[in-house]
Every structure is written in C-alpha cells, then in structure tokens.
Structure 1
Amino acid sequence: GAEAAAAAYGLPGMKLLRELPRSMLGGKANFKSCAIVGNAGHLAKGAYGAAIDRHDAVMRFNVLSIGGAHAKMVGRKTDFRVLNHLRSLHGCCKVLHDEKQTIKLPERSRTKRKKGGKEPLKLILWHPGQQRNMMAECRRSNPGARVFALAMSYIQKQVRVIKALRMDLMTLGFGPFTSWKQLTSGAHGIFTAVGMCDSISLYGFTSFPPPKPKPSEGSGEAGKAPSDQYGGRRKKGNDAVIWHDWNGESYVWRLLHASAKMTVCSV
C-alpha cells in the first residue's frame, strides 16, 4: 500500500539511488516510460511483446534473439543494449569475427551507417577492462550505432547504492546474502535507467518467486527445471554464479518495486 511504498522510499539506500547522476545516454534528459527487458526463462510463458514495444525506450541485454517466435514474448523494439565483457568482445572485436565465434547483435541492421531511418541503436558497455579500446572497436565494427561506456566513477556510485540497499534489506530482516564481485549487466542497466526514465517497467528479471503451478497443470516437461533464459539456456555458467549475487539482486528489485520506483511486470 501507500504507507509501505513511502517507508521503502525513505530508506537510506533509496536516498543514494535518487542521488545517482541523471543519465544522458539517449541525448535527452529523460524518457517518459522505459521497459527494461532481461533474459529470464519465464518470459517464454507469456506474450509481453506488445506491452514492451509501447514504451518510449526499451533496454535489453547482451545478444539474445528477439526475432521470430521470440518477438511475441519479448517484443522487437530496442533503443539500448547493455553488453557485458564477453558480449562486447563478440559484438565488436574483429579478432573474434569468424564463423565459429562471432555472435551478431540482434539489431545488426541498425549498426550499419545509414542516413535517415530509425534512431541508431545505442550500445552501453560497463566492464572497465580496456574500456577505451573496446569502445573504439565497437564503433569500428558497428559504425551506425552510438557507443557509450559507464565511467568507473559512475560504476562506483552504483556499487555504493546496491550495498546500501542490501544493508536496508538486512535491517528489515532479509538475507543473509552471498558475496559478489561485480554487479550484473541487469543491475547496471536498471541503475542507469533510473537516471533517465520517469517510469520503469521491469520484464524478464528474477525478482519475485514464480507462482506455484496448479495441481491440474502438472509439473511441466518430464520434471525438467525451468530454463534460465527464454532462449533455452538451462542454467547459468560457473563464472556468472561466482561473480554475481543473483539472489541478492532479486531482493533489491523487490524493494524498488515496493517503493514504486519501478514496476515488476513479469515473474
């Protein structure tokens, strides 16, 4: 209710979140509505595409397909695509551009230099390693796209925010949370969007536990665990588990939802 939202909004971590510098990655101070679309497997159960595409700006992550059968699930519109270190290499570095290793960006047609037409795709790189060189490679490989990198000083501010929000959650009795080394691409995207979106709708993130199936629905495909991504990946790689605290971040997204800072639209 309103009282719970006001209480969540007043937490110390939320104050730090509001103090994050406003982002100007889109060339404008803010968008009225933004959809932030993760890659969670539960998106395969729904038809969120039309709702996602109605937002003023849509942010996606890494290189998972949005075409074909996926369009009904996740839509087609993309304004921003946040790339982690590996996907930055795949999408930008010519040394990896061979048939076995190259992974083309889903919006490849919008990364070629053209006059007129749609707004250029905007790529956001967050990994600090060789960031200047990576930006140069991305611009050479994708001359029609606009390429941005999150400055280390800005990333450090984002880290302070999530540490404070985790502390707020533990004060409220949640946790304990596991150790972590880096924010996920999703966390970087959400915190960046907070500074450029009046309202945020979150799709395809692990946040609230999924609803339990009804007895009549059975247990799905021969007892298989649900996919980790809507593209069919069954589980996260070891590196992803070691470097990130997915469960801890999911509680942070619940807190932002409770504070009315953003709305979780899929589970």
Structure 2
Amino acid sequence: MKRRHLPPVLVLLLLSLLALPYRRHLFLPRGPSQYYASGDDALLRRLAASDAGGDQVLSEAAALLANASVTSFPSIGNRYRLLYLRLPYRGNDTSAPRKRAVSRLRVPFVTVPDDGPLLAAFRASLRSFVLAHRLRRGSNVAAVMGDLAGLLGRPRREHFPTCAVVGNSGILLGSGRGAQIDAHDLVVRLNNARVAGYAADVGAKTSLSFVNSNILHYCAVRSAVATGGCACHPYGRAVPMAMYVCQPAHLLDALICNATATPASPFPLLVTDVRLDALTARIAKYYSLRRFVATTGEPASNWARRHDERFFHYSSGLQAVVMALGVCDEVSLFGFGKAAGAKHHYHTNQKKELDLHDYEAEYQFYRDLQARPETVPFLDEAPGFKVPPVKLYW
C-alpha cells in the first residue's frame, strides 16, 4: 500500500500552534532506572520547577526592551549594512555609561527596514516575549501538551500517525536506518544537520527543522549578504523551521530573516511556545537532579554545586522529542545516545559533549518514555494527555 504523506500546509499549521503570539510584530547506553519514594520525587519536582536559566533569559530580554539601540553603517562599496545592536554599560561605579555591542550583523540594504522601524519591530517582539514568559509563571506549563495533543480541537486522526525525531549522534554512522526514517509521516531533524552523503544512515526526508537560535544567528547574516535572504534551510526553503530562543538578541535575526523573505523565496520560521520551553526545562532539570542524587548519594540541594543554573540547558533534541509527544500517535527516536569511539555528531568531527547539557540524564528520560512513560514527571499534569508509544533506535 502506498504510504500517505501529510501535506506541507499541515506541517505549517502544526507549527502555528507551537509559535508564540509575537511571531507576527529531538544505541542508548543501557542502565537501570533510578526511582525514589513519593516524598523524594515531590522534592525533585519542586526543585526542577525553579528555572534560573529561564529567569536569566527573561532578564536579558527586559534589559534589551528597555535600553537596546540599533545603529547601522554602509559597508565599503555599499554592498551591505553593518548593523550593531547595543546596550549601555558602566565599566565601574564612577565611569560614564557607554554602549557595548550585543550583536554585530551584516544585512542587505534593500529588504531590511531602516534602523528606526527595525528597532520598533524588535521591541515589539521583545515585549511579547517578556509578556509570554511572565504570564506562564504560576501556571501549569504542562498544559501545553493538552494544546498540542488536541491541536486546538482537531480530531485525533489528524495527528501525525508516525513521527521520527532524528538526533545527530555519531552512532548513526553505519546504521543503515535511512529508509526506515524516511518511511515516517513526519521527520524532524535537529540544528540543520547535513543529510547529503549520509542518507543511507540518516535518511533524506525532512518535514521540520528544529533548531536553537544560535544556529539561526550563525548562518543568517552570512547568507543574507550573499543571497539577499536567509539561506538557513538546508532541506529546502519550503521546509518549516521551529526555533527556541537561547538569547533574546536572536529575535533580531528572526526579524531580519523574515524581512528578507519573498513569495518566491519564503522563510517559514516560527518560535516555540514559552510553555513548551518551560516544560522541557523542568524535565531536563528533574532528570539531572535525579541522576545527581543516584550517582553521588548527596542531597538534591547540592546539585547546583556541579551545574551553573544560569547556563544549564536542555538539548535541542530533548525539546524536539517533547514536542513530538504532543503531535504524534507513535514516536521513533534515532541517533540519541553514544558509544565508545563514536563522534558526538555524525556530520562533524566533534567528539566532546557540551557541558551545559546533561546528556546522560536525557538518555534516561528517553528510556523512561519507552519503558515507563507513567513515571515521567510533569506530563502527568496535563489534563487528558497520554504519552504515545515511543521506540528507541540507534
């Protein structure tokens, strides 16, 4: 029987449900699970609900909203504009305030608005970002799974029947999983990982590119100058991109990329719902706390001695998996984990893992999704939500 594929417009509709209102102006190491008495679990949940990293991002956004300035200058030969996003600072208590560059960009002359309108649009985006973060405080952030699961009232049959979230681990090399991955109705890839030359192991089909905002920032300016638009869709410009915000300054990159889009060359870029961000942060911290207690024997309150809470963060893959739980009837995970001698990324020579992620804790989350979904915290707080079947592959 020929496999039914959902049209791109359905993918875009799905993404519109993930986006914030301001879009307008995801071979695992084997090991036993560690479980705790109900009282200990309640403590871990309570500690995990505190997100210092989220507070840091909110503080940065508020500072940009109140004091940021945008200034641009023509480059030599007038080929493009050099744009600076600046904030005031003081070197010490007695010095006069000066402005430091938060971000340096190169943008096309014609498609990107002048400094004044661009700053106004950036402030509007920041204002909505700050408001969304403040509104979700004190609320049940797991409720986002209800929105995703129901697709705002759409029938269950309109979920994606099968979804593949493709991680970037080097364990995929030589796996021969490409055809199996491509057979899924929805295929999610992370951080614009290359597929050319690796299709036999990672597949070639992409329905959604899920990235962190650093990826957009690194590629957008370069390509904006070279092509007159943001060529940050390696899977084709019709493939939507969902982005979570690592740094509020990157909202300016999103505005610039949207400004360079045309009907003939669109840029389908949407920013994730802050509730999804918060839910993913809680899950990541909970599993890291649980692993810390199990491996060290120390109380969970000592976790912060090993991790800088301001910069501790979930991986792009973890958030993509959490998102898939809300929009898919079955979820398959490929390329999440590591093996001796394997590269960190199948498409690069990087071997060292990033310190800001607790990958071992995230692996336990994936194992629990497959074997013990009822034990996964916070998802049980979403009314009517049930974790779909999850299958782990290497």
The reply on whether 1:87 has 2:215 as its aligned counterpart is yes
Amino acid at match of 2:282: R
What's the CA shift string for 1:126-152, capped at 9, x where partnerless?
A: 124235433323334554242111133
CA contact (8 A) 1:52 1:58 kept: yes
Amino acid at match of 2:254: M
* Correspondence list, 1:155-166, <5 A: 155-166=277-288
Measured in 2, the distance between the counterparts of 1:163 and 1:247 equals: 12
Counterpart of 1:139 (choices 258, 262, 266) is 258
Unpaired stretches in structure 2, ≥5 consecutive residues: 1-31, 36-40, 46-140, 298-302, 374-388
Measured in 1, the distance between the counterparts of 2:200 and 2:242 equals: 25
Q: Name the counterpart of 2:270.
A: 148
**Cα–Cα, structure 1 residues 43 and 17, in superposed 2: closer, same or farther, change >3 Å?**
farther
CA contact (8 A) 1:85 1:127 kept: yes
The reply on whether 1:243 has 2:356 as its aligned counterpart is yes
In the TM superposition, residue 157 of structure 1 has moved relative to its aligned partner by: 2.2
The normalised TM-score by structure 2 is 0.49
Amino acid at match of 1:41: G
What is the DSSP-based 3-state SS (H/G/I as helix, E as strand, rest coil) of the residue aligned with 1:31? coil
What is the DSSP-based 3-state SS (H/G/I as helix, E as strand, rest coil) of the residue aligned with 1:35? strand
What's the CA shift string for 1:39-92, capped at 9, x where partnerless?
A: 10011121111000110100001122112x311111111111111232111343
What is the DSSP-based 3-state SS (H/G/I as helix, E as strand, rest coil) of the residue aligned with 1:162? helix
Q: Name the counterpart of 1:202.
A: 333
Measured in 2, the distance between the counterparts of 1:79 and 1:123 equals: 9
Q: Name the counterpart of 1:182.
A: 313
* Correspondence list, 1:250-265, <5 A: 250-259=363-372, 261-265=389-393
- The structure having more radius of gyration, on CA atoms, is 2
How many residue pairs get matched?
227
Measured in 1, the distance between the counterparts of 2:259 and 2:268 equals: 11
What is the DSSP-based 3-state SS (H/G/I as helix, E as strand, rest coil) of the residue aligned with 1:86? helix
- Computed over aligned residues only, the root mean square deviation of the Cα atoms, in angstroms, reads 3.7
What is the DSSP-based 3-state SS (H/G/I as helix, E as strand, rest coil) of the residue aligned with 2:351? coil
Counterpart of 2:189 (choices 54, 60, 74) is 60
Unpaired stretches in structure 1, ≥5 consecutive residues: 112-119, 213-224
Percent identity, aligned pairs only, is 21
Measured in 2, the distance between the counterparts of 1:50 and 1:18 equals: 35
What is the DSSP-based 3-state SS (H/G/I as helix, E as strand, rest coil) of the residue aligned with 1:234? coil
What is the DSSP-based 3-state SS (H/G/I as helix, E as strand, rest coil) of the residue aligned with 2:147? coil
* Correspondence list, 1:119-130, <5 A: 120-128=238-246, 129-130=248-249
In the TM superposition, residue 252 of structure 1 has moved relative to its aligned partner by: 1.4
Measured in 1, the distance between the counterparts of 2:218 and 2:292 equals: 38
CA contact (8 A) 1:32 1:197 kept: yes
Question: Deviating runs (4+, > 4 A) in structure 1?
Answer: 16-19, 26-29, 94-99, 165-171, 173-178
Q: Name the counterpart of 2:174.
A: 45
**Cα–Cα, structure 1 residues 80 and 186, in superposed 2: closer, same or farther, change >3 Å?**
same
Amino acid at match of 1:52: I
Q: Which has the higher contact order (CA 8 A, sep 6+)?
A: 1
Q: Name the counterpart of 1:32.
A: 161
Amino acid at match of 1:123: M
Q: Name the counterpart of 1:222.
A: none
What is the DSSP-based 3-state SS (H/G/I as helix, E as strand, rest coil) of the residue aligned with 2:165? strand
Q: Name the counterpart of 2:380.
A: none
Measured in 2, the distance between the counterparts of 1:157 and 1:187 equals: 11
